[in-house]
Amino acid sequence: MKYCHHCAGPISQHIPEGDDKVRFCCPGCDVVFYQNPNNIVGTLPVYEDKVLLCRRAIEPRLGKWTLPAGFMENGETTLAGAIRETREEAGANIVVSASPLYTLYNLPYINQVYLFFLAALVDLDFKPGIESLEVKLFAEHEIPWNEIAFAVVRNTLENYFSDLKTGDYPVRMFDVNYSPERKVDIALVSSSKP
Ligand code: ZN
């Protein structure tokens, strides 16, 4: 951020009075521009023993498979955002249970929080949206594990197929970090069924 959204004057970076972090500030307007984490909301749509994945038509990870998910909009709830993204990216009609929250990931190194909700496909009338090349149902043995776009998606799928065997789907929260070898490390920090 170089110029102020309001007056187009130059931005300075400093710690505002009473704060403890460096912020983007406009001395002209006396305004502080706070930057906070983004929420990415999505679903894991299920049909019989299969899950619905989308093949990405956009960078990053173009051509890789992912769950329908995207940035939450102002004025919507996390669940409404996840359902909207599922409609936009997979053209899918879904319903959710009374307690659909399934996985939550904190990604402090990229200032993101991911939330995935369990959902059931209402019908097989799905089709790729503008951000997807292809939308397809996969049983566990059909999942293209080496072609999954994001570690959080892979982890959610792994948890789902493991939970499918017990019929129990606890809500889990994970912290995601990079190890010194730049490998993704996903640590379980909370589960509704310890
Ligand atoms: Zn300004």
Q: What is the mean pLDDT of each run of 10 residues along the chain (194 residues)?
A: 93 94 94 95 98 97 98 98 98 96 96 98 97 98 98 98 96 92 90 90
Enter the CATH code of domain 1-35.
2.20.70.10
- Any idea where the domains of the chain sit in the sequence? 1-35, 38-191
Q: 142 alpha carbon to ligand 1 midpoint, in Å?
A: 54
Q: 22 alpha carbon to ligand 1 midpoint, in Å?
A: 17
Q: What is the pLDDT of residue 16?
A: 93
DSSP state of 21: S
CATH class of 38-191: alpha beta
* Cα gap 19→15, rounded to integer Å: 6
Residue among 114, 107, 112, 70 nearest 184 (CA): 107
Q: 2 alpha carbon to ligand 1 midpoint, in Å?
A: 11
Q: 5 alpha carbon to ligand 1 midpoint, in Å?
A: 7
Tell me the average pLDDT of the chain. Answer: 96
